[in-house]
Chains A and B, each alone.
Chain A
Amino acid sequence: MRQMSIEASPVIDGADIAATEDFESLLELHRSRVFRFIFASVRNRETAENLTQDCLLRAYKARDSFRGDSALGTWLMRIAANLVRSHETSNRLKFWRRALRPEAGPADARGEAIDVVPDRHLSPEAMVLAREQVEAVWRVAARLPERQRTVFLLRFVEDMELLEIAAVTGMKEGTIKTHLFRALNAVRSVLEKRT
């Protein structure tokens, strides 16, 4: 509930925010959203926690330069997206580290197969199918290139509008559409293979 109210919060004037003593608590309100995006991007809990902390710290340090042309959430997501990208770049050569570090997945979060599917009225078979579907999408998202994945996650997990995504990633709308097409095609091809 609290989450929803934050996401729906109107653009606050940047000068006011910078002046606010409670900037830190404002950041805290966005923490789980930032964490969710980073966690879905890097698929490792510890890395995601570190990067989230980094993101909030950077935002706190740069609070004076927050101009307020966008919502605080958008600004934070922009920092997070940049952090994820630099993390990927720095990790590109660290093959072994990536190979040895277990990737968080549907089975990781709770130590057992996930059954988080909102439709409680589904039959057990449909439940299994839905679970497999979710896992398939998760794996596809993991294999996507960094930009496609970021755009995909922002659109379909964070429910952002294309313009908002443009503000976060700094890409043009057409570019975002192209990335989304490719990501969706990958997801669809996997889903069609399963059905």
Chain B
Amino acid sequence: MNHLSSQQISECLMGAAGPDQARHARECGACRAEIERLETALARFRSSVRQWSHEAEGAGVYQTTYRLYRGNGALAGLSSALIHAGILGLLFLLGSLKPVQIAVRETVSLIAPDLSAFKPQPRKMQGGGGGGARELRDASKGKLPKIAPKQFAPPRTDPVEAHLPVTPTIVADQPLPNLQANNYGDPLSKLGMASNGIGAGGGIGNGRGGGVGPGSGAGFGPGASGGFGGGAYRIGGGVSAPVPIYQPEPEYSEEARKAKWQGTVLLTLVVDPNGKAVDIRIAKSLGLGLDQKAIEAVEKWRFKPGMKDGKPVPVIATVEVSFRLL
């Protein structure tokens, strides 16, 4: 009989050999040696795997972790400390570098929202008042009456004899230029004979109403409706802002176009009760003819005028006119 084929040897190994092969395996020395060699290898493999498995099963996590260091615990601790110190040092070094600091500073944006719309507005009501008694001369110099929120009696240069005199007042809410004098008058007027002025409506001066000065109302000075300072109202304190309703674009001046000049012109103007811009002044100039173009444009603008107590009043406004080359 021939020697066993590799398949037959495998069958012997796996315990599925037929009786003939089993007998041959017992009797033939070469085949038996081959099978024994393989069986030895497999038996060693088996016992080794069992041993490893047993050890792996017993090996706890700590044991395994400890084995990673191979007994060099001190070295491991030292290198760990060094790594941590290195990282810390690197962070400090990075923080101390100027470009990093600048970069960090640039990325932090402090937000300061514009809260002015929500803050209580100081009543910087401007305006003025005026009066007069239709006399022939201008109002004479004298002191201003006391300030009160409401006027009961207009001032007069010649005191009225009365059983229950009412102290004359004017309507204003801020300290006014005044002078020391014995009788009432217009502090800004010239010295002269006592006169209530050529205005009308009581009070002193050339205007109308019970105040003092050339304006109208119970205030002092040019302007209207009480207060002091003349001119238009400012937005706030019961005065609504004018709203532009017709805004033609400004033209570009030839020089600015050639120079590719861009920017913003800031104009201060008064929106009169008719909604027109008057008294336009340049607050921030741009040059190259653009200021003039901005004024020309704003003169054509129409506003919904600022309102006070439901009536249109002149209001000081600031207008930005932007010039951009597209």
Contacts and interface: CB of A to CB of B under 8 A. Distances in A.
Given A118-B44, A157-B46, A191-B38, A109 B55 contact: yes
A117 B51 CA distance: 9
A106 interface: yes
A190 to B, nearest CB: 10
A141 B53 CA distance: 15
Interface residues on B, range: 20 to 34
A110 B55 contact: yes
B8 to A, nearest CB: 10
A45 B64 contact: yes
A87 interface: no
Contact of B53 (A36, A156, A162, A184): A36
B250 to A, nearest CB: 65
Nearest to A162: B16
Contact of B44 (A48, A108, A134, A161): A134
B56 A137 contact: no
A116 interface: yes
Interface string B49-62: 11111111101000
A40 B44 contact: no
A180 B10 contact: yes
B116 interface: no
Interface string A126-164: 000010011001100100000000000101110101100
B50 A157 contact: yes
B48 A117 contact: yes
Given A109-B59, A111-B70, A116-B52, A156 B46 contact: yes
Which secondary structure dominates chain B's binding surface?
helix
A177 interface: yes
B44 A104 contact: no
Contacts, number: 101
A137 B41 contact: yes
A137 B48 CA distance: 11
A188 B10 CA distance: 10
A182 to B, nearest CB: 9
Contacts of A187: 38, 41-42
Nearest to A156: B42
A109 B16 contact: no
Given A117-B44, A162-B16, A191-B41, A138 B49 contact: yes
A130 B16 contact: no
B31 to A, nearest CB: 14
A188 B64 CA distance: 34
Determine the main DSSP class of A at the interface with B.
helix
Interface string A154-179: 01110101100000000000000100
A91 interface: no
Nearest to A173: B16
B23 to A, nearest CB: 20
B47 interface: yes
Contact of A32 (B16, B47, B53): B53
A85 B30 CA distance: 39
Interface string A37-48: 001100001001
Interface string B1-29: 00000110011011110000000000000
B44 A185 contact: no
B42 A114 contact: no
B51 A116 contact: yes
Contact of A130 (B11, B44, B55): B44
A141 to B, nearest CB: 8
B49 A40 contact: yes
A6 to B, nearest CB: 14
B50 A36 contact: yes
A5 to B, nearest CB: 16
A187 B55 CA distance: 25
17 contacts: A36-B50, A45-B59, A104-B56, A109-B56, A110-B55, A111-B67, A114-B51, A118-B44, A119-B44, A133-B41, A137-B41, A137-B45, A156-B46, A181-B7, A184-B38, A185-B10, A187-B41
Given A45-B64, A114-B48, A117-B48, 9 more contacts: A32-B54, A45-B59, A104-B52, A108-B52, A111-B70, A116-B48, A116-B52, A137-B44, A188-B38
